[in-house]
Structure formats: structure tokens, C-alpha cells
Amino acid sequence: MTKSKTKKGAASIYAVVFITLLLGIIAVSFVRLILRESTSTINSELSSSSRDAALAGVEDAKRAVDQYLKTTGPKASFYKADGTTLNCDFVRQMLTSSTETEKETVISTQSTTEGETQQAYTCVTVDPYSPDYKGTLDNANSVIVIPLQYDPTKNKPKFVTFSWQKISGSEEPKLVNKDYYKKKGEQSTTETNKVVPPVISLQYVQSETAMDPIGKYAYTANPASTGLLFLTPAFHASGATNVGDIIKKRDDSDNNPTKVNCYETLGATSGANNDGYMCAARFSIPDTSASQYLVISLPYQTGATDFRVSMADASGNTVNFFGVQYVVDSTGRANDLYTRLEVRLNSVNPEFPYPQFALQSEGGIEKHFWVTNNCYTVNYLGDGTGEAARCDDSGNL
């Protein structure tokens, strides 16, 4: 009698093995995903903590600069003994009078479920020299006064370049000047990524003293001590527009908008460049011993626009601002992860009254305007003898 061999249950065994392998792969995948997300979360927290530590260094730098400006006796130097390397210990020495060097400043140490987290900033440098002045004009800060202050031991500035409307991605300038749009062939067929750079009012002012710019404008010593530009985006071209002598722009006969090149990519001409901004204008300033200022504002535009001001000497070499915008370089640490930040601190002397407006009132101001083609005379002396026509008698406005 022959016995038959059977393989009952083999299919089930294969199914169990396959399912076991599949479940194992899924379990390993979930473990790897959990570990990856956990590592990502920890790194994100450390990154945020290191940035907070760097910002703490910036805040301490603000207090150190304020203390530096108030201190009349011996004080820590911005630079180390060699006079060229920025001093990482300047902030610590100004705030704590510590003579210790090359040690980080611990902010906090916390114990968490993942372990211990330590926050500190390892180095914070403060540089009183800045290659340019950067800022933002917006509704809250529609007028900004910038001292053209430089190191008196260095070359004097001869040229100033003003750039605005920072380039972002593939944005292109939309020029609203009528002379540009008269040519239909030059008009864009689409408004995608179009940005309208604002008109900028830029005034150059000299003052006889740095402590009283309002009451001591240098009109008496030199009547031609100011200049005014209305920088109007007009041309789709690269490179900064060369304006010429800004003092000549105060003449009423030349009181017209200054048309400026605007372009979506970097360009250069005569040593000046847009440097990441759409529009740029370059002008010359006089050789003077008076204090010099730029008053920039948004006369029409709402919103915000970033800008940059740079100076150069007669040879085109960069002239650094000195004591106008401090450049703070702060490196923060959270465990073994570091974050480095660069921040600009504006230096404003509280005894220096920056003029923001020509006229200010607590209440409303009434303005009356009228249009006529009938000329009339005005008694400007008040005694009936000084009468003069306020318009021509041709019937034209």
C-alpha cells in the first residue's frame, strides 16, 4: 500500500512569511520616519534657540553702544590691540567691565527630555564703519534724515549714489512716466511680476553746526548750500543715472523731476551700480567743511521701499559712513548648532533734533486753491504802492 505525501498548510506559511516581512518593513519605515522627524524637530528647536541667542547678542550690543556713547572716561575699544581686528569682547567689557577675553556669554541652560540645551552667543562685534546706509521708507517712516558723516582722517566724499526698490525674484519695473509709455511698442503686453518703483524726494542740506541743523542752515555763509531732487523712474535701462551737481538742482529754472534708470538686473555705469536695487541715481556734492545731510521721503507713494545710500571719493573709491549705522555681527549657539546674524543699528544722538517736517500742527490745516484765466494784482507791500501781477495777462493758466 503506497502512502501519498501531501503539503497541507504550505500556502499559509508563505503568506505568513510575506506578511511578516511586509509588517517588518513598515515598522522599520515608521521607526526611521519617527527618528527623522525627531531629529528634524530637535534641529529646528536648536536653530530657533541659536537665532534667539544671536538676537540676545544684538540686544546687548545696543546697550553696549549706548554705554559707549555715554562713557566719558577710558572705555573698551571696538577693536583689539592691533587696531584692525574687531573686538569680540567689546560688548562684554562695556556691560560688565570684565577683563576676561575669548569666552562666550551663556544666556541660559535648560534640561529637557532630549537632554540639556545651552544657549550662548560666542562672539558679537560692533563696527562703527559701514560701507553704505540701508533702510526702509514706509508709512510709519516716510521721512528719514541721513548724516553724510565719515572719518575725517580719510578722503572726503565727492559722489553719492542713492538706490531704491530692492529686486525680488523675477520682478520687473513698471515705468509710469508718460514719455516712456508714449511708444506703444515698448509697453509690456502683460502685467505679471510688474512693480512700480515710487518717486523719491531727496534733499541735500548743509548745516553750520552738527548740534543745531534747524536753526543754523548755512544759507548765510553760502546761499547755494542745498539741492533738491525728485527722482522719477522713467527709463528701462541698467546702471545708475548720473545726475551731476546736486547744488545746481535748487535753481528754479531746473526744478523738474529727475528721470532715473530702472532695471530688473544689475548694471553699472561710471563706477556706480544698482547693487540689487531696481533704480539708482548718482550725484556729486560740494567740498565743504559744513555738516551734510540727506533728507529722503516718499512724497506720493504709500507702502514701503528699501533703499541704499553709498559714498565715493573723487577717484570712485568707497567712503565709509562713520558712526551713522553700526554694523553688528552676532553669532549665537545652541548646543553644537550656530547661527550668525548681521544687523544695522542707527546711531541717533538724542541732543540732535532731526527735522522731519517743514510745518506741523496739532489741528487741521486749511488749504485754498483756485484756478482762473483772469489775472489780478496783489499788494505785496501792504501800503498800496507795491502791486504786481501774479500771472501773465494772456488768458493762459
Instruction: Write out pLDDT tens, residues 121-132.
Output: 889 999 999 999
In three-state secondary structure terms, 145 is: strand
- Domain boundaries defined on the chain: 134-182+193-319
Give the highest mean pLDDT range of 53-62, 184-193, 217-226.
Answer: 53-62
Task: Using alpha carbons, select from 57, 45, 58 the residue that is nearest to residue 110.
Answer: 45
* Grid cell locating 138: 514706509
Residue in the structure block whose three cell numbers are 565709509:
320
Task: Using alpha carbons, select from 234, 242, 213 the residue that is nearest to residue 351.
Answer: 213
For 234, counting Cβ atoms within 10 Å of its Cβ (0-12 exposed, 13-18 middle, 19+ buried), the class is: buried
Give the highest mean pLDDT range of 151-165, 195-209, 293-307, 379-393.
Answer: 151-165
pLDDT score of 6:
58
Task: Using alpha carbons, select from 39, 69, 15, 17 the residue that is nearest to residue 351.
Answer: 69
| C-alpha angle 316-318-321 in degrees, rounded to nearest 5 | 140
Q: Which residue has the higher pLDDT, 357 or 157?
A: 157
194-195/172-173 β-pairing: parallel
pLDDT, average across residues 199-228: 65
pLDDT, average across residues 235-256: 72
| C-alpha angle 362-135-219 in degrees, rounded to nearest 5 | 60
Q: How far apart are CA 394 and CA 374, in angstroms?
A: 9
Q: What is the pLDDT of residues 303-326, one digit of tens each?
A: 788 999 999 999 989 999 998 999
Q: Which residue has the higher pLDDT, 328 or 379?
A: 328
Whether pLDDT at 367 is above 70: yes
* Grid cell locating 26: 513598515
**Beta carbons within 8 Å of 147's beta carbon, 6+ residues apart:** 210, 291, 292, 293, 324
pLDDT, average across residues 97-108: 72
Q: What is the pLDDT of residues 60-95, one digit of tens each?
A: 999 999 888 888 788 888 998 887 889 988 898 888
pLDDT score of 190:
47
Is the Cα torsion angle 147, 252, 254, 173 positive or negative in sign?
positive
Q: What is the pLDDT of residues 162-172, one digit of tens each?
A: 999 887 766 66
In three-state secondary structure terms, 82 is: coil
| Helix or strand (DSSP H, E) at 192 | none
Contact 199, 232 (CB under 8 A): yes
pTM as predicted: 0.72
* Grid cell locating 336: 553644537
pLDDT score of 183:
44
Whether pLDDT at 205 is above 80: yes
Q: What is the pLDDT of residues 273-286, one digit of tens each?
A: 456 888 899 999 98
In three-state secondary structure terms, 380 is: coil
